[in-house]
Amino acid sequence: MTEDNTALNEDSAEEKRREPRYHTYKSSVLIHENQEIYTTIIDLSASGLGLLCAIELQPGEQDDLLYNIEALSQFNEASKETAQPSMLHLPIEVVRVNEAEDEYVVGVKLRKVPEEYHAILKRVAEMQATLGIVRPQEPAEDTQI
């Protein structure tokens, strides 16, 4: 391979996200090699999410993430007393891992996007837009096919 091809491959490893990212801080459980690893979801987008994880994962690994959600919106005062816990299963693939102090920041893409995830993302987007804390979408760079 030429240096130009190598540079192109390195660029392809960079983030190419087109959807907005919504910041959050929610507990989750990663199922990795038949072990439960406690993680924290730090951001959501339509195609993936960011995690804080105590173990180092490798890009390309396919795992499962479990996320405890309420059947009814936790943000609706009338429904708080009737909300039932529910586990959302998210099949994921690791795309990026960065070491940060005592943990790792892991970027994953969703291998399958359940309908419940779309509902959660929509609710988070609405809340953050209302509060004015949506992270602006970064401008798209020129890409060559």
Say which residue, 11 or 63, is predicted with more confidence.
63
Given a cut of 90, whether residue 78 has pLDDT beyond it is no
Lowest-pLDDT choice from 60-69, 100-109, 124-133: 124-133
Model confidence at 75, pLDDT cuts 50, 70, 90, reads very low
Query: Letter for the amino acid at 9?
Result: N
Distance between CA atoms of 105 and 136, rounded to whole angstroms?
Answer: 21
Model confidence at 83, pLDDT cuts 50, 70, 90, reads low
Q: Would you kindly state where each structural domain of the chain is located, as residue ranges? A: 20-131
Pick the CATH number of 20-131 from 2.40.10.220, 3.40.50.720, 1.10.150.20, 1.10.580.10: 2.40.10.220
Its pTM stands at 0.70
Mean pLDDT computed over 125-130: 82
Within 10 angstroms of residue 88's Cβ, the number of other Cβ atoms is 15
pLDDT of residue 50: 96
Model confidence at 61, pLDDT cuts 50, 70, 90, reads very high
DSSP state of 7: H
Report the alpha-carbon angle 135-136-142, nearest 5. Answer: 130
Closest alpha carbon to 104 in 45, 48, 59: 59
Model confidence at 143, pLDDT cuts 50, 70, 90, reads very low
Q: Which token pair is 136?
A: 């602006």
pLDDT of residue 87: 84
List the alpha helices (DSSP H) in the chain: 3-12, 115-131
